[in-house]
Structure 1
């Protein structure tokens, strides 16, 4: 059984961190690695991430942050790249805001989804790809 490795991006976006992870950094990851981004999308070069995923240079990505957000009521894809079409990408909308208990509830869902992935099970709140 291959060891699954998770790399979690959880720091703030600023001029130092914008585009910090690109082709080179993704190339340093193991092919069994999953990249989890719960920070800001722009920390990772979107095209580089898409290519690493599409070419299976890394095992997958769990993304709850978008490169593009809706500006009105019309549908908006979360990125210029079709991450939603890749079988090794899990996408979930970033939920901001906080109140008593919400942080613990979110942590519990994230932990449960990671455990489910490791066991090969379906994550909670998985959004199916359009056919």
Structure 2
């Protein structure tokens, strides 16, 4: 089931580049990741998608507060949760908290998942089709 982007706001949730331990990620640093995220966000906006980007700290309590601020008063039909929140065992509690908060704020929301900032648009397009003009 796909929704039309003209009637949908997408919440894109990921770890803030300052929240990562780069010693565990060979070949990646904060500056590079920041640039990749910015390029991914530009691609979403260039595709005409209505996206709210929400970059979270690693602390679950603080992340919940930030997430609630990003999602305040906005109905989301699709939530994209980035790989950084899902694939690292040290972020399991954070990922669990984020999913449960989103479920409470937007019951019935559809989820999609990327594997990198470069695959975010593809992940969203699995659920959101561009509005026919």
Measured against the shorter chain, the TM-score band is 0.3 to 0.5
Please identify which structure carries the higher helix content: 2
For CA contacts below 8 A with separation 6 or more, give which structure has more relative contact order.
Answer: 2
Q: TM-score if structure 2 supplies the norm length?
A: 0.35
TM-score by length of 1: 0.36
